[in-house]
């Protein structure tokens, strides 16, 4: 089943966090929602973009074992010249079947992530949507600049059809939002956070202690179906936003080359439902200490501060409809 799609007007986009908060039940149920900005929405986009010089990271996708369509992303120092890129990906079916057929070959993920880059320009009028502002509008603002300055956008580049963004989730089980700038549509598969344990058990069965969070895995939806894991699909086109719920896992592939970017943020439930403080055993991913984000101290998010934040920032009524909702 596809995740729900919400339309947003210019006014609500200016306070996107509050809009997401209003629809949090949907977000929680599906693990994600898609948001389509109306024609009246104004975005603070840079005029000159794509000036980032990039090459695809040297990661390939290999099958975990002969029988099951579960794939590992592995870094190779040497990519052999025959490493395959998917030639024609027109739909979901052709993507997974071409992957499944090429089990003995190296297949490039053909994507790159560029942290701390953005195609949104800062310091524009508040009337224009700028992704940099989201962490500051979100619950993270209670942590002051010491916390919010850690949250910067990350540009995501897909170099061609069938490029792969393996499974990840936002750091410390935060929420995140992804804006598609241009290029081929993204096919997402989203696993809500409550399915994590069972998914981990299933994956452990193929390979013990695999990490679900750091771009190590790509799982054919057949495996999810077979094991009754609840997940949702969505196809994201340029100009659309995908919002991921706290701790949701997401993987995607692209129909063609594309640019997108994402950033993390928090809603009160990140603290109130314990996502922020889940103790996670240290994974075996080879992430250098410099790139490992600090753990955010959750004791600064005291209940009375959260309540005050909700009152002053989230329960902002902008129209009659939300007034009636508030009373219900
Ligand atoms: Zn990991």
3-state secondary structure 278-309: CCCCCCCCCCCHHHCCCCCCHHHCCHHHHHHH
Report CA(243)–ligand 1 centroid distance (Å).
Answer: 22
- φ, ψ for residue 139, nearest 5 deg: -55, -25
**What ipTM describes this predicted complex?**
0.98
Confidence (pLDDT) at 203: 94
Check which CATH number belongs to the domain holding 47 and give it. Answer: 2.60.120.650
Asked whether residue 247 carries a pLDDT value surpassing 70, the answer given is yes
Per-residue pLDDT averaged across 229-241, rounded?
97
Report CA(216)–ligand 1 centroid distance (Å).
Answer: 7
pLDDT by residue (tens digit) across 60-80?
888 887 888 999 988 776 656
pLDDT by residue (tens digit) across 179-211?
999 999 999 999 999 999 999 999 999 988 899
- φ, ψ for residue 303, nearest 5 deg: -55, -40
Report CA(212)–ligand 1 centroid distance (Å).
Answer: 7
Domain span at residue 33 reads: 5-327
pLDDT by residue (tens digit) across 145-173?
999 999 999 999 999 999 999 999 999 99
Of the listed ranges 84-88, 100-104, 144-148, 319-323, the least confidently predicted one is 319-323
> Closest by alpha carbon to 243, among 184, 183, 190, 283?
190
Report CA(98)–ligand 1 centroid distance (Å).
Answer: 27
At 323, list the tokens. Answer: 């007034």
At 102, list the tokens. Answer: 């090429």
Domains contained in the chain, number: 1
């Amino acid at each position: 089943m596809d995740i729900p799609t919400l339309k947003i007007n210019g006014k609500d986009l200016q306070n996107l966090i509050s809009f997401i908060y209003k629809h949090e039940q949907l977000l929680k149920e599906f693990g994600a929602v898609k948001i389509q900005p109306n024609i009246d929405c104004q975005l603070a986009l840079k005029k000159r973009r794509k000036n980032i010089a990039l090459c695809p990271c040297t990661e390939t996708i290999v099958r975990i074992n002969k029988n099951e369509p579960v794939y590992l992303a592995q870094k190779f120092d040497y990519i052999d010249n025959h490493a395959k890129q998917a030639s024609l990906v027109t739909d979901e079916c052709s993507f997974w079947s071409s992957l499944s057929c090429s089990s003995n070959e190296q297949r490039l993920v053909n994507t790159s992530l560029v942290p701390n880059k953005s195609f949104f320009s800062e310091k524009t009028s508040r009337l224009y949507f700028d992704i940099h502002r989201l962490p500051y509008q979100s619950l993270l603002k209670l942590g002051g600049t010491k916390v919010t300055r850690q949250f910067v956008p990350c540009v995501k580049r897909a170099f061609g059809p069938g490029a792969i963004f393996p499974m990840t989730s936002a750091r410390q089980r935060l929420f995140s939002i992804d804006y598609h700038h241009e290029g081929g549509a993204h096919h997402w598969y989203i696993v809500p956070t409550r399915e994590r344990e069972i998914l981990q058990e299933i994956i452990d069965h193929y390979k013990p202690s695999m990490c679900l969070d750091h771009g190590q895995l790509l799982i054919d939806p057949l495996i999810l179906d077979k094991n009754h894991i609840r997940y949702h699909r969505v196809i994201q086109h340029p100009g659309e936003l995908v919002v991921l719920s706290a701790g949701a896992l997401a993987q995607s592939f692209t129909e063609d080359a594309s640019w997108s970017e994402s950033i993390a943020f928090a809603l009160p439930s990140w603290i109130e439902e314990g996502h922020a403080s889940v103790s996670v055993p240290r994974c075996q991913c080879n992430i250098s200490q410099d790139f490992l984000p600090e753990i955010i101290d959750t004791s600064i998010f005291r209940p009375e501060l959260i309540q005050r934040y909700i009152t002053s920032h989230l329960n902002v009524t902008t129209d009659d409809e939300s007034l009636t909702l508030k009373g219900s």
